[in-house]
Amino acid sequence: MSATDRAIQLAVAAAEAASDKLADDIVAFDVSERMAITDVFLVCSASNDRQVRSVVDAVEEKLRGLGARPVSREGEREGRWVLLDYVEIVVHVQHAEERVFYALERLWKDCPTIELPEEVNAGRGPRSGDGA
């Protein structure tokens, strides 16, 4: 089983919104074969707490335009790692330090990635954990 078309649509839209707010290292994992609770994990980084909040706001606004609202939101108060759960997708917006420390890519490295539009990560550095 693969991620649904709707999950991929939401993940791409969320990635575009995050990119518009200059999020870094945006990657989407198809976790549908490993998890029963969601199809896609989208992970991205922000350089500071204010940018984390800005990325979260942009993602919520973009997905709201597609008729999606998060069923839960966690970590917003601290602004270091915010999780938005849309059922089909889970969006992780992490402060760059948390991204390196928790290394979610390492946990999901066996899952296929979802191709995102080229402009989403254009001109930005390699993903954390790529060794580059």
Please state, in angstroms and rounded to a whole number, the distance separating the CA atoms of residues 91 and 15.
Answer: 9
- Domain limits of the chain? 5-116
Averaged over 19-45, what is the pLDDT?
95
61-50-103-35 Cα dihedral, nearest 10 degrees: -30
Is the pLDDT reported for residue 129 higher than 70?
Answer: no
Give residue 82's pLDDT.
96
DSSP β-ladder status, 89-95 and 40-46: parallel
pTM: 0.89
The matching CATH number, chosen from 3.40.50.300, 3.30.460.10, 2.30.30.90, 3.40.1080.10, for 5-116 is: 3.30.460.10
Q: How far is CA 17 from the centre of its chain?
A: 10
Q: What is the pLDDT of residues 67-103, one digit of tens each?
A: 999 999 999 888 899 999 999 999 999 999 999 999 9
d(CA 52, CA 88): 22
Compute the distance between CA of residue 127 and CA of residue 75 in angstroms, rounded to an integer.
22
Query: Does residue 82 sit in helix, strand or coil?
Result: strand
